Chains A and B, each alone.
Chain A
């Protein structure tokens, strides 16, 4: 489908970037914990002496600060690259889905097919989507701020009252995923769940016509 390649699977984008941050976190934590432990053991108080040593080391500290700056710039660069992909909007979207969030349910509309899915207290709404296709979301809230979150897609976006929120997503794997409201929205926020069911394209066509 046109534009499909421009929109990345947010999950794989997240995983690639997260692994860099995770790796860095583990290494830095390892170094700092090691140094602290080394200091505590090696320099534990033995006698009553006062150690003599330098009070500062400006050259070493300046070099260190430059290294930190380089790390920060690297992280920010990687982040910007990934964000360009996760925030990208396709020139012409594939499937359009309207999201209406309200206390404490979801309504999903398919304007191209005249189909609507409405959640009720007995029935958790299921959004059906075709696999590997760009989906153009247009979300709005009827009351307070909600947030459309699909943990498996590693993506969320807030839904505001009186203002449309637009974003594109693509799901590359068939399956059923839980979705939740992530922004606290009042009494029954806990129960504001939905499902995203990603199906093959022909199955999606059958579903919208049913």
Chain B
């Protein structure tokens, strides 16, 4: 994935403030953490394949799901979201650089530093953190979670969260300040608009986690901040005030990328642009008001209010679907690997969204909360949704980043394995949760269909792993036997396809006139 120019020095690579290098670096180590956290999931699925404890102890299992969730949120999905923005936002708006590049450079390196800190917990006496990625007080206090693993988790989370926050500040400022002549806010490409919504959410919600985790450290070592009768609920409010917006942080950029892919491979200008922009902003605003729907079962929040705000989210989400499908209908659709992953995103994220409407209803959530139903629901959104969107972005933009094409046949093979694997893994989870399987358990009784459902999930997880190997093989083949991409292999609509692949350090030698949100499409229609 790395594109190191010849004679590049190590310092030049590590310390470069070029937004493209920052983007590639963040994406590369985030993908490394994806492989690691994904491997943890495979160990867990192996343990759960059959009832009883066969592979790991309960203690190890608790470490595995804690680090799987923490890794995927803090070190994989949020950094990947910002990495895409870091690389492509300046290119899409015709900028030569980002705002505050040194700030972004710090953010860039805080994330892997946080990751190494977090995972180094495995080297300590008590092992890594094992209080879940949510680390609810008082389970995460010094008596119930002794040892440095928990502290390293706190510091790792703080560093990675601060890193993503700095990247978001840089990207948002770039959008506000560095747009090319003619690139008004309402001519920003759809992906760039999705990054506006993303960065706004990062800036407003990530500080809440920094506060929650800092107080957790104080609670553990100095005074019991969360000790009182309302302490545990206070922690949950602080945590979910970050923890819910973050799931939209790891959704918006990917639906933005999917929108670009759908438009380009349907050969149409994105349909309903203004409605989409409005829906993204409404979505972002509403999503700051839904956090306590994670707390319905506590009986200590105003369930009705959070049920209302959470359910009404279906309106902006529905508008986005209208625009995506509206772009495809009447288009001229080429089912490339990128488009396949985009269609996969549309279809599978819908299952995550619809099950999300179910868990937004308190009387229904009373049953399925903290069960595998919820695990299935959010994996449909984050894996089958956002990560499919990420791969759509990878197949779409890899030629721009490297100047080389990925192999389409391998891409389609990966898509088939991912599509089958995701459904095989996550649909049975909806069933097993409904039938009474709680989340975060290393063992279960063979009642109802739990044995069958878990076996299916395990087979699905390994199918996904096989798909990931196909992707790695694709990267290897494309770098061993490069097929040059040219500037614009897909006949793109936006400015990043105007410049060379990979773009020069200053991004553009020239710029076409910008008169809409799809300037290259305008030009092509003018020519044809």
From A17, A39, A46, A182, contact of B361 by CB (8 A): A17
Q: How many A-B residue pairs have CB under 8 A?
A: 239
Within 8 Å by CB of B139, from A50, A61, A144, A181, lies: A144
Inter-chain CA distance A191–B131, complex, in Å, is 16
Q: In whole angstroms, how far apart are the Cα atoms of A124 and B119 in the complex?
A: 36
Q: A64-B322, A147-B297, A189-B441 are contacts. A83–B303 as well, Cβ < 8 Å?
A: yes
The one of B268, B346, B355, B439 in contact with A184, judged by C-beta atoms closer than 8 angstroms, is: B439
Kindly report which residue of chain B lies nearest to residue A179, judged by CB atoms.
B436
Q: Given contacts A58-B275, A188-B58, A190-B58, is CB(A32)–CB(B350) below 8 Å?
A: yes
A44 near B335 (CB under 8 angstroms)? yes
Known: A14-B367, A71-B314. A43 touches B441 (CB 8 A): no
Interface string of A7-34 (1 = CB under 8 A from B): 0001001100110011011001100110
Residues of A near B370 (CB, < 8 A) are 147, 149, 156, 182-184
Closest chain-A Cβ to B326's Cβ sits at a distance in Å of 7
Contacts of B371 in A (CB 8 A): 182
Q: In the complex, A68→B486 CA distance in Å? A: 44
Contact residue among B136, B300, B303, B330 (Cβ-Cβ distance under 8 Å from A43): B330
Which residues from chain A contact B1 at a C-beta distance below 8 Å? none
* Min C-beta distance of A91 to chain B, whole Å: 19
Q: Are B328 and A40 touching (Cβ within 8 A)?
A: yes
Check B325 against A86 for contact (C-beta < 8 Å).
no
* CB-defined contacts of B328 to chain A, threshold 8 Å: 36, 39-40, 43
Interfacial chain A residues near B271, Cβ < 8 Å: 54-57
Q: How far is the CB of A117 from chain B (nearest CB, A)?
A: 21
The contact string, 1 if C-beta is below 8 Å from chain B, for chain A 34-73, is 0110111011111101110111111001001100110110
B-chain residues with CB within 8 Å of residue A65 when the two chains form the complex: 275, 315, 318-319
Contact at B362–A158, with CB atoms within 8 Å? no
> Which residues of A have CB within 8 Å of B228?
162
Q: Which residue of A lies closest to B309 (CB)?
A: A76
A18 to chain B, nearest CB (A): 6
A157-175 vs B, CB cutoff 8 Å, 1 = contact: the mask equals 1101111010100000000
Residue in contact with A61 in the complex, picked from B58, B275, B332, B438, CB distance below 8 Å: B275
Tell me if B233 counts as interface (CB < 8 A to partner A). Answer: yes
- Whether B447 and A155, one on each chain, are in contact in the complex, defined by CB atoms closer than 8 angstroms, is no
| Interface membership of B488, Cβ < 8 A | no
A57 touches B326 (CB 8 A): yes
Interface residue tally of chain A, by bracket?
35 or more
Tell me which residues across on chain B come within 8 A of A58, comparing CB atoms.
274-275
Q: A178 in the interface, Cβ–Cβ < 8 Å?
A: yes
- Report yes or no: B314 in contact with A68, Cβ–Cβ below 8 A: yes
Evaluate whether A83 and B319 lie within 8 angstroms (CB atoms) in the complex, with A51-B330, A190-B443 already known. Answer: no
Is A35 touching B435 in the complex (CB atoms < 8 A)?
Answer: no
Query: In this assembly, does B307 line the interface, its C-beta being within 8 Å of a C-beta of chain A?
Result: yes
User: A49 CA to B59 CA in the complex, in Å?
Assistant: 61
Is B366 part of the contact surface with A, judged by Cβ < 8 Å?
A: yes
Is B266 within 8 A of A72, CB to CB? no
**Bound CA–CA A186/B314 (angstroms):** 35
**Contact between A29 and B438, CB atoms less than 8 A apart:** no
* Choice from B132, B303, B325, B524 contacting A39 with Cβ under 8 Å: B325
Q: Which residue of A lies closest to B366 (CB)?
A: A155
Q: A21-B361, A32-B325, A72-B315 known; A160 and B233 CB under 8 Å?
A: yes
**A4 contacts B by Cβ under 8 Å:** no
Known: A145-B232, A178-B436. A43 touches B332 (CB 8 A): yes
Taking a contact as CB atoms under 8 Å apart, the answer to whether A184 and B333 are in contact is: no
Q: Which of A40, A152, A157 contacts B299 (CB 8 A)?
A: A157
B456 within 8 A of A: no
Contact A35 B325 (CB under 8 A): yes
Q: Which residues of B contact A40 (CB under 8 A)?
A: 328, 333, 335, 343
B273-316 Cβ-contact flags toward A at 8 Å (1 or 0): 11100000000000000000000011110011001100110110
B272 CB-CB contact with A under 8 Å? yes
- Contact assessment for A83 and B232 in the assembled complex, using a CB-CB cutoff below 8 Å: no
B144 touches A143 (CB 8 A): yes
- Evaluate whether A36 and B347 lie within 8 angstroms (CB atoms) in the complex, with A51-B332, A184-B440 already known: yes
A143/B334 contact (C-beta < 8 A), A40-B328, A43-B328, A65-B318 known: no
Q: Which residues of B contact A186 (CB under 8 A)?
A: 62, 131, 139, 144
Taking a contact as CB atoms closer than 8 A, the residue among B297, B525, B528 that contacts A157 in the complex is B297
**C-alpha gap A40/B139 in the complex (Å):** 50
The verdict on B358 contacting chain A, using a C-beta distance below 8 Å, is yes
* Partner of A53 from B304, B330, B362 at Cβ < 8 Å: B330
How far is B299's CA from A145's CA once the two chains are assembled, in angstroms?
13
Complex CA distance for A80 and B283, rounded to whole angstroms? 23
Asked if A187 meets B232 with Cβ closer than 8 Å, knowing A25-B358, A50-B528, the reply is no
Q: B445 — which chain A residues lie within 8 A by C-beta?
A: 178
Least CB separation from B353: chain A residue = A28
- CB-CB under 8 A from B441, the residues of chain A are 189-190
Tell me the minimal C-beta distance from A56 to chain B in angstroms.
5
> Which residue on chain A has the smallest CB distance to residue B267?
A50
Residue in chain A with minimal CB distance to B312: A72
- In B413-455, the 8 Å CB interface with A consists of 435-436, 438-445, 447
Q: Which residues of A contact B (CB under 8 A)?
A: 10, 13-14, 17-18, 21-22, 24-25, 28-29, 32-33, 35-36, 38-40, 42-47, 49-51, 53-58, 61, 64-65, 68-69, 71-72, 75-76, 79-80, 82-83, 86-87, 103, 143-145, 147, 149, 151-152, 154-158, 160-163, 165, 167, 178, 180-191
Contacts A/B (CB < 8 Å), 15 sampled = A10-B366, A33-B347, A43-B330, A44-B333, A51-B268, A61-B275, A79-B362, A103-B144, A144-B136, A145-B232, A178-B436, A180-B436, A184-B370, A186-B139, A190-B441
**Known pairs A44-B333, A50-B267, A184-B131 / 17 extra A-B pairs, C-beta < 8 Å:** A21-B364, A22-B358, A28-B354, A32-B347, A36-B325, A36-B328, A39-B333, A40-B343, A43-B332, A53-B331, A56-B275, A64-B318, A69-B315, A160-B232, A160-B300, A178-B445, A184-B439
